[in-house]
């Protein structure tokens, strides 16, 4: 698939992304203190299993297991530091591509995932823009070389960092890039922890070459409906929303998300009503969530066709 | 004096560390009561910052800068206090990020905000072994232990600290607070902590509730 395929499809209809990777790996036994990206090299069959499960549930976009596979982020753990940035990203793309080929349906897209560095710009931390850019550039280059269809920059808590990731991608690729920030709800509206608003994100990201934008993580599906409604009047650009499956509850030291897949799927329809062009799941969502969402999507498009 | 105190409040609210330090020095030169300057000036400023944070007017960068301004002013005024007046302390808090977890920023911000609000702080840093938390409670006069965990993979360490305190008969000596992205009120309850706070401002409110109005030091 090519750039035009993804964006053209997004113009015509809703695209369903996959659900969470990290919480699936924890359920599969990813242990305390382990780096998820290490599994890309050491336990590739587990990563492939998650991709296949999402594809079978009806996800049209497979997201690589590279959320934390930038040099800066990997440097935050001893295990991460021992990993080769290029190898992790390239291998993750191969695993995802193979899962898509095995599945055999051609109208599917491979999104190269880029998450935050985990570090902070001043005054909170000491991260420099040039270091952030270099770290993202290296990851983006590896993803690009290995052959993704689009980039997904997500869970960004600082618009400045999201911009550095976007610029890094744009330096070396004209593939579609979607940028999702992570917002919290405050009495005065939706803000990142740095105080960035949806409006500020729209005004900053689109002129820098984002193909679309939106939000993921932090919020559950119910609150994300309101956020989608806040975003829609601000731009005609494609909007993507990937909420969590509610808030985690710890059970036997494993985070459990208690939201029912059917409830999540209902909320996702409301998010589409509010103006989203693409939807998917973040932490705690499973193939069941995507399957339920797919069912409602099909039911809706059938009833529209009958009208 | 009132105008001077207003300037102190404003310097913290604006996160202007240089100005806050200048005002602290000026207060000492003019012979103002350090206690009054702290309690009716800088502390009021940081409380207002906390309120504006909760409302969503100020965010993390502003909170960090205000906390730094407060910390700097306090570092200049506190030595003067020791000579004369007794600063009411709300209690001694031992704080750290659990082992396996190198996230330092959230924990440090909680420490700074607690200190700014009159708590005495021992900051053990990040990646602190379970046993070290327990040892510190045993050998110090801590009233409260605050444990941060930013990862779902490290938060079980918070439970192990509480178990360690129980085994050594220390659990009732301190209030235990937990915090960090994956934590919640339910988690605090499950592991037998005394409370959970979602951010630095909430941590101050919680510590004040748990430790009461404070003791003279």
Q: Where are the domains of chain A?
A: 3-306
Q: Is residue B214's pLDDT more than 50?
A: no
Q: What is the mean pLDDT of each run of 10 residues along chain A (307 residues)?
A: 77 96 89 87 97 97 98 92 97 97 89 96 94 98 97 97 98 97 94 97 98 96 97 98 84 74 97 98 95 96 67
**B interface with A, Cβ–Cβ below 8 Å:** 15, 54-62, 64-65, 68, 100, 102, 105, 151-156, 159, 182, 184, 186-187, 190
Tell me whether residue A258 is exposed, middle or buried, using C-beta atoms within 10 angstroms of its C-beta: 0 to 12, 13 to 18, 19 or more. exposed
ipTM of the complex: 0.85
Give the per-residue pLDDT at B80: 85
Q: Do A250 and B100 touch (CB under 8 A)?
A: no
Q: Which residues of A touch B15 (CB under 8 A)?
A: 123
Residues sharing a CB contact under 8 Å with residue B148, sequence separation 6 or more, in sequence order: B95, B96, B97, B98, B101, B103, B106, B107, B110, B178, B179, B180
Q: Which residues of chain B lie closer than 8 angstroms to A186, CB-CB?
A: 55-56
Report which of B63, B47, B100, B70 is spatially closest to residue B199, judged by C-alpha positions. Answer: B63
pLDDT tens string B5-44: 999 999 999 999 999 999 999 999 999 999 899 989 999 9
Q: What is the pTM of this model?
A: 0.88
B89-216: CATH topology is Rossmann fold (3.40.50)
Q: Which residues of A268-287 are buried (b: 16+ CB within 10 A; e: fewer)?
A: bbbbbebbbbbbbbbbbbbb
- Taking only the tens place, the pLDDT of each residue in B118-140 is 899 999 999 999 999 999 999 99
Work out how many CB contacts closer than 8 A connect A with B.
Answer: 66
Pairing assessment for the beta strands B195-197 and A278-279 based on DSSP bridges: unpaired
- Predicted confidence at residue B88, as pLDDT, reads 65
Please, are residues A190 and A225 in contact by the beta-carbon 8 Å criterion? Answer: no
Give the DSSP H or E segment for A109.
strand A109-114
8 Å CB contact of A193 and B156 = no
- Is residue B87 very low, low, confident or very high in pLDDT (cuts 50, 70, 90)? low
- Per domain, the residue ranges of chain B are 2-85, 89-216
Residues in chain A within 8 Å Cβ distance of B54? 187
CATH code: domain A3-306 is 3.20.20.330
| Separation between Cα atoms, residue A298 and residue A18, nearest integer Å | 16
Which residue has 């991709």 as its token pair? A51
Which pLDDT band, with edges at 50, 70 and 90, does B217 fall under?
A: very low
Q: What are phi and psi of A16, to 5 degrees?
A: -100, 120
Kindly list the residues from chain B whose CB atom is less than 8 angstroms away from the CB atom of residue A188.
55-57
A55, A56, A67 from A61: Cα distances, Å:
8, 12, 15
Q: What does the pLDDT average to over B164-183?
A: 94
Nearest-by-Cβ selection for A124 from B56, B105, B182: B105
A216 vs A37, A249, A281, B81, CA distance in Å?
20, 19, 8, 49
Percent of chain B exceeding pLDDT 90 equals 66
Would you say residue B216 has pLDDT above 50?
Answer: no
For the residues B186-200, what does the mean pLDDT come to?
Answer: 92
Q: Is A120 in contact with B68 (Cβ distance < 8 A)?
A: no
B105-117 residue pLDDT tens: 889 889 988 988 8
Class of the domain covering B2-85: mainly alpha
Give the number of other Cβ atoms within 10 Å of residue B125's Cβ: 13
Tokens of B81: 């206090």
């Amino acid at each position: 698939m090519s750039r035009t395929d993804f964006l053209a499809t997004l113009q015509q209809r809703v695209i369903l992304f996959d659900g969470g990777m990290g919480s699936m790996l924890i359920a599969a036994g990813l242990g305390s203190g382990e780096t998820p990206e290490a599994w890309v090299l050491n336990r590739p069959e587990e990563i492939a299993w998650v991709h296949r499960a999402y594809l079978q549930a009806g996800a049209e976009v497979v997201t690589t297991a590279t959320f934390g596979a930038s040099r800066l982020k990997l440097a935050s753990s001893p295990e991460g530091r021992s990993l080769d940035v290029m190898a992790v990203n390239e291998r993750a793309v191969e695993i995802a591509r193979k899962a898509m080929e095995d599945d055999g349906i051609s109208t599917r897209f491979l999104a190269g995932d880029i998450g935050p560095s985990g570090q902070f710009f001043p005054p909170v931390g000491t991260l420099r823009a040039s270091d952030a850019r270099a770290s993202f550039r290296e990851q983006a280059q590896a993803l690009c070389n290995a052959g993704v269809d689009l980039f997904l920059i997500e869970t960004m808590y600082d618009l400045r960092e999201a911009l550095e990731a976007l610029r890094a991608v744009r330096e070396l690729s004209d593939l579609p890039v979607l940028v999702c920030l992570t917002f919290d709800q405050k009495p005065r509206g939706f803000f990142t922890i740095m105080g960035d608003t949806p409006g500020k994100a729209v005004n900053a990201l689109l002129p820098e070459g984002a193909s679309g934008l939106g939000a993921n993580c932090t919020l559950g599906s119910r609150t994300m409906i309101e956020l989608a409604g806040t975003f829609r009047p601000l731009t005609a650009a494609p909007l993507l929303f990937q909420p969590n499956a509610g808030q985690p509850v710890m059970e036997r030291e494993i985070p459990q998300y208690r939201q029912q897949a059917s409830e999540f799927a209902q909320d996702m329809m409301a998010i589409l009503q509010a103006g989203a062009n693409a939807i998917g799941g973040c932490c705690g969502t499973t193939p069941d969530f995507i399957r339920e969402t797919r069912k409602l999507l099909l039911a809706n498009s059938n009833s529209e066709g009958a009208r | 004096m009132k105008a001077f105190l207003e300037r102190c409040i404003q310097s913290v609210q604006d996160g202007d560390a240089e100005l806050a330090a200048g005002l602290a020095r000026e207060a000492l030169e003019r012979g103002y009561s350090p206690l009054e300057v702290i309690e009716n000036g800088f502390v009021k400023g940081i409380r207002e910052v906390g309120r504006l944070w909760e409302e969503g007017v100020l965010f993390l960068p502003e909170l960090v800068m205000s906390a730094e301004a407060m910390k700097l002013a306090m570092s200049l005024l506190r030595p003067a206090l020791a000579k004369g007046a007794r600063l009411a302390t709300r209690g001694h808090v031992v704080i750290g990020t659990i082992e396996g977890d190198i996230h330092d920023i959230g924990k440090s911000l909680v420490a700074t905000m607690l200190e700014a609000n009159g708590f005495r702080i021992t900051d053990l840093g990040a990646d602190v072994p379970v046993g070290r938390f327990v040892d510190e409670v045993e050998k110090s006069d801590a009233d409260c232990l605050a444990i941060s965990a930013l990862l779902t993979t490290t938060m079980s360490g918070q439970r192990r600290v509480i178990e360690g305190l129980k085994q050594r008969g220390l659990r009732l000596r301190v209030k235990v607070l937990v915090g960090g992205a994956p934590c919640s009120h339910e988690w605090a309850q499950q592991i037998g902590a005394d409370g959970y706070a979602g951010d630095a401002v909430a941590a101050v409110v919680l510590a004040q509730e748990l430790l009461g109005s404070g003791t003279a030091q």
